[in-house]
Amino acid sequence: MKKLLIVATLIEWATGLVLLVYPPVMTRLLFREEITGAGILISRIAAASLIALGVACWPSSNPLHAFYGMLTYNAIVMLYLAYVAIGHEAGILLWPAVAAHAVIAVLLFMAWWKQRKALEASA
């Protein structure tokens, strides 16, 4: 079961990385269709989800993997949406979405940091 989970996770990571770097190749290979415009932007957000899913599903005795997956997702999406907002015409919800993902990522990081410090203090 562990080996299967590792293989599945590596496949999700690879798919996510290809989708993040160059979405048109993935849509061409999967659907024999071209993708442009907002489809490329949304594909990259889906890529962040696949990468975060891989982080969350990596086999481990660490119960924080789902937490790390959520942190990974929010950080990648926040950075990508900020990049898009700076380089493109922004819709009305783009900057609020950047802010929402940033707040979630910061709160998750702060919770992790607090827990880490508490564990260090008790050791």
Query: pLDDT 10s per residue in the chain (123 long)?
Result: 678 778 888 998 999 999 999 999 988 887 888 999 999 999 999 999 999 988 888 887 777 877 888 889 999 999 999 998 898 777 888 899 999 999 999 998 998 899 889 989 987
Task: Please name the residue that has the structure tokens 């999406």.
Answer: 77
Cα–Cα–Cα angle for 17, 18, 22, rounded to 5 degrees: 120
The pLDDT of residue 45 is 93
Cα(23)–Cα(45) distance, integer angstroms: 11
Whole-model pTM: value is 0.74
Domain positions in the chain are 2-122
